Amino acid sequence: MAGNATITPWEVKGSIDYKKLIEEFGLSPLENLPKEFNENVLFRRKVIFAHRDIQRILDAVRNKKPFAMMTGLMPTGKFHLGHMLLAEQMIFWQNLGAKLYIAVADVEAYNTRNQGLEESRKIAIEEYITNYIALGLKPKNCEIYFQSNRSDDAKKANAFYRLQNILARHITFNEFKAVYGDVTPGKMVSSLLQAADMLHAQLPEFEGKPLPVLVPVGPDQDPHLRIARDISQRIKDPKFMQLSSSYHIFMPGLKGGKMSASDPSSFIALTDTSKEAETKIKRYAFSGGRDTIEEHRKLGGDPDIDVSFQYLKCFFEPDDRKLKQIYDDYKSGKMLTGELKQVLIDKMSLFLKKHHENRQKAKKEIGRFIGKD
């Protein structure tokens, strides 16, 4: 699908043509956003490029009506730049007034990745939640919960697991097969549990009534959304407002392919020291440069495939004029790959130093985020 790429929740490979992806998945391009969105580089630079039914969310923002943002994290491996892309969106929506629901997908990790619940809990806290807080997540209007332990309030927990279980009647095995291809009991449970994650904010025991819910995701999660959206409209009691979703591009790994938890040279983790990050960028960052300096000066480089440039664009160079200058200079051959990498290294070291200080403070805040109810 999407050209010659494969994109499923369990596997992403090949080079992705996002225009084709929009068509094949039946998404809408994200355009004509209100101006507060353009202040955010991820929207302005189309890193978040498509949506389903986002109008409902935009209306809620404009009319100052309640809405929620729901997402989940698979607590495996190190927290890296790919995860930061979603964290920044969570914080953006929280600042715009969204109530946040964040699921730690420990049951999904147990059933599909063979990872124990204790291990998931530890990684979720030390890696994901600590970094979210250090990046600016606030405890107010934010519920972080574990799929294995929705709430200590029995009414809420019952409502959540009741919903998860009654969803099963509203989907067929053939629909599962059409959406996921290979189906196993673990995948089926994960799918319905994730649908419950996405929908339960609308229950009487949670936000009290149907409300707009945005789920920001990478395109690999779209199958889960399609299932949850279909099911939600088949259930008559309680009624659910259709889910909204937004789609961000896949952040390239350092070497150009994907970031892989088992290969630390494929990503920059937010716990890497400045020195480690510098070494990784110098050694591994895939470059759009030419083989020799002479050729590069003559023919110029390709910033569009250069990983250092992508990281500057998505995270570390918020100034459009400066980013364009780098783009133009690299393309014309005036700027060499080593110089481009150095721009990224300087910006990233500053960021990492500050972030590590913030992480120390964040560790003391964890209790304000989990186990609240």
Is 197 an interacting residue with respect to ligand TRP (CB under 6 A)?
A: yes
Four-residue CA torsion sign, 46, 276, 327, 305: negative
For ligand TRP, the closer CB: 42 or 213: 213
Binds ligand TRP by CB under 6 A, chosen from 54, 72, 248, 348:
72
Q: Which residues contact 60 (CB under 8 A, 6 or more apart)?
A: 66, 67, 211, 212
For ligand TRP, the closer CB: 128 or 284: 128
H-type helices in 4-80, by residue range?
A: 18-25, 35-38, 41-44, 55-62
Identify whether the C-beta of residue 59 lies closer than 8 Å to the C-beta of residue 244.
Answer: no
Closest contact distance (angstroms) between CB of 231 and ligand TRP is 14
For ligand TRP, the closer CB: 109 or 133: 109
Q: Which stretch binds ligand TRP (CB under 6 A): 69-77, 258-266, 327-335, 346-354?
A: 69-77
Q: Which stretch binds ligand TRP (CB under 6 A): 166-174, 199-207, 213-221, 285-293?
A: 213-221
Binds ligand TRP by CB under 6 A, chosen from 198, 277, 307, 362:
198
Q: Tell me, by CB under 6 A, how many residues bind ligand TRP.
A: 13
Token readout for 80 is 């890296």
Binds ligand TRP by CB under 6 A, chosen from 69, 74, 134, 201:
74
Is 246 an interacting residue with respect to ligand TRP (CB under 6 A)?
A: no
Is 194 an interacting residue with respect to ligand TRP (CB under 6 A)?
A: yes
Is 251 an interacting residue with respect to ligand TRP (CB under 6 A)?
A: no
On the question of a cis peptide bond just before residue 238, with omega within 30 degrees of 0, the verdict is yes
Binds ligand TRP by CB under 6 A, chosen from 84, 201, 215, 370:
215
Identify whether the C-beta of residue 190 lies closer than 8 Å to the C-beta of residue 226.
Answer: no
Q: How far apart are CA 66 and CA 211, in angstroms?
A: 7
Buried-state track 25-37, b at ≥16 Cβ within 10 A, e below 16: bebeebeeeeeeb
Cα 292 → chain centroid: 37
DSSP H/E element including 94: helix 81-95
Is 75 an interacting residue with respect to ligand TRP (CB under 6 A)?
A: no
**Site string (87-106) toward ligand TRP, x via CB under 6 A:** ----------------x-x-
Q: Which long-range contacts (CB under 8 A, 24 or more apart) does 8-15 make?
A: 8/180, 8/181, 8/220, 8/223, 9/180, 9/220, 9/221, 9/223, 9/224, 10/112, 10/187, 12/220, 12/250, 12/258, 13/258
Tell me the residue number closest to ligand TRP, measured at CB.
72
| Amino acid of residue 148 | S
Cα–Cα–Cα angle for 350, 356, 357, rounded to 5 degrees: 95
For ligand TRP, the closer CB: 146 or 330: 146
Binds ligand TRP by CB under 6 A, chosen from 130, 151, 221, 266:
221
Q: Which stretch binds ligand TRP (CB under 6 A): 29-37, 47-55, 67-75, 231-239?
A: 67-75
For ligand TRP, the closer CB: 42 or 103: 103
Closest contact distance (angstroms) between CB of 42 and ligand TRP is 17
Q: How far apart are CA 12 and CA 193, in angstroms?
A: 22
Identify whether the C-beta of residue 150 lies closer than 8 Å to the C-beta of residue 157.
Answer: yes
Closest contact distance (angstroms) between CB of 146 and ligand TRP is 11
Is 70 an interacting residue with respect to ligand TRP (CB under 6 A)?
A: yes
Binding site for ligand TRP (CB under 6 A): 70-72, 74, 103, 105, 108, 194, 197-198, 215, 217, 221
